A and B are shown apart, each in its own frame.
Chain A
């Protein structure tokens, strides 16, 4: 896939912003993006993040025969890969100019500066030496690959441990990590690349350009330096003329930046060492909490509680206030008394209640159902409760144990309720039911009183 071209308006905007000393991500001219270093479970594996640019470094080693002209030196090999995963514009299996340039620069920065003691990698002179291979993979591309890659390479090399070997006569013994602790490489210094982007023929300068700034820049200056302020490599590309002052100023800035980054690397290495010694969790694979993705998240159901109080008050206001509270026990017949409400005992006036039964026989179903509804939590509308109060008269006369009616009729009653209030969600119904219960209790009482009077007559 082709690279997304830079539009004219982006270019213009970027240049104007740079002229105003502003950058897209709010950084200052000499600011680096956040650098994050994390290590793998094995030695010699690390991921360096420079803002959104990510580079994975992996060091491996092998016993090989040395080069003929350098019989006592180990071999260092660097390889940077630009995978398509980093940016769709990178083509797999093809050495692009950018890749060649970056690889070359890395080699110059790390091998030619002799930061690693290659002579210590010799096992048997002229026969067996260690070949150290540094593989760098760009995982995400957001500009300034070389800085991220150089940090990743040196961090991976510092972190790496090679198996220990011993030579006795002609016999070379290679020890597994269990037999003998692996040994670290001997590293003299840590060269780190710092990139400077120049705009408008060197008028403006930015440290650590991101991808868009790289598109707009006129020239790039890369300075590789160690913390002793020794320049390991310097490379200018893009074909701009730089003045002596500019290069000197850049090297000063590079010195400061390299000191900061070296400190960060050392801190990260120490931290990893400490964690490994303590046997805690280390490595980026372990640091991923494995529940984060697989755990289900329960979504909170939004319930509108804003006008619950008003609604409740409204219902209370609408309901008839209790006229009188019956609290004293009522003696129906000798041996049968009642306190408060409930299904009224009708044993005392069995005779005249049967007459009423005949009168209002049709309506008694409703009242039995009503008590069922209370249990199941189905909504009781205002109309429903009114009906209930009128039906209650009939209920009194009925024997409470006539139980086969509700089972048959419950279905039809529920359907009726749905028709009454079709669009209520279960949550609302629940609250409504509670209020309806509150309301129902008082509304029964006048009826009962009436009934009582009638019974007295």
Chain B
């Protein structure tokens, strides 16, 4: 164990303002603020003030540890430093397999969507220009979508997309310098559920935090909602939900219930669902 620490020690050697930086592991699930600096587990030992009196032996001081840590939303890498850019709670996900260092991100409450590569979103077609569609995704600028990026689309066989249609797709290009680009096919060329969303149903906006909550693998809300009425539902990571039930009334109820779920405890939610199931 000791050699690993020693390797990592050199990584944080040049870290500035080490006195203020907190170890990421100690502030997990706590609130972090923009501008704060975090230390990854490998960097911690070097910055412990005093170092418990004795320095660790550096076996190969030149080498750096090669643990791959992913910085999710709300964190930014700045040289060797890890800076917080959003206010929220720090989260960590264990690496699934292999020797990765897991994922760190900040769970914040916001409404404005920032495109992220690989996110599935619901967009509205705002314009058709030449061979691309302009899609409003609720971000700072519209995304582009090629008409060839649909399942089975060729130059002759164009998809039937009108201005104002809803598109469910994912980002292939999303960075701060370029226009985001969407596709409606996966890497195998299959639609996989993406494409134009039907003409009926209701689209509404919720906060991004609620979407993440609803899309969590163990989310009870969706299961409970599913028991209420038969429904079709699409969640976009950009805070948009499209829902369709048999009648207008049911669709409206579902939309309002989902919106209200954000600030309800699970007990309150169960009460409401029970009341709805009766009526």
Contact = CB atoms under 8 A, between A and B. Distances in A.
Q: Main secondary structure on chain B at its contact with chain A?
A: mixed
B219 interface: no
Contact of A10 (B162, B203, B248): B203
Interface string B194-230: 0001111111000000000000000000000000000
A25 B199 CA distance: 22
A7 B248 contact: no
Of the four ranges (under 10, 10 to 19, 20 to 34, 35 or more), the interface on chain B belongs to 20 to 34
B164 interface: yes
Interface string A21-46: 01011100000000000000000000
Interface in B146-175: 162, 164-166
A364 to B, nearest CB: 33
The binding surface of chain A is classed by DSSP as loop
A8 B164 contact: yes
A17 B203 contact: no
A4 B138 contact: yes
Given A1-B140, A2-B136, A4-B138, A9 B199 contact: yes
A22 B203 contact: no
Interface residues of A, number: 19
Interface in B221-257: 242, 248-249, 251-252, 255-256
Contact of A13 (B126, B165, B251): B251
Contacts of A6: 124, 164
A7 B126 CA distance: 9
Nearest to B242: A9
A16 B164 CA distance: 17
Contacts of A24: 252, 255
Given A4-B136, A7-B164, A9-B197, A22 B249 contact: yes
Contacts of B252: 17, 22, 24, 26
A7 B200 CA distance: 11
A9 B124 CA distance: 10
A9 B248 contact: no
A9 B202 contact: yes
Given A2-B136, A4-B124, A4-B136, A10 B199 contact: no
Nearest to A14: B202
A9 B166 contact: yes
Nearest to A212: B204
A91 to B, nearest CB: 14
Contact of A8 (B140, B165, B202, B248): B165
Given A7-B124, A9-B198, A13-B200, 6 more contacts: A5-B164, A8-B166, A13-B201, A13-B202, A20-B248, A20-B249
29 contacts: A1-B140, A2-B126, A2-B136, A4-B138, A5-B124, A6-B124, A7-B124, A7-B164, A7-B203, A8-B165, A8-B166, A8-B199, A9-B165, A9-B197, A9-B198, A9-B201, A9-B242, A10-B202, A10-B203, A12-B199, A12-B200, A13-B251, A16-B248, A17-B248, A20-B249, A22-B248, A24-B255, A26-B252, A26-B256
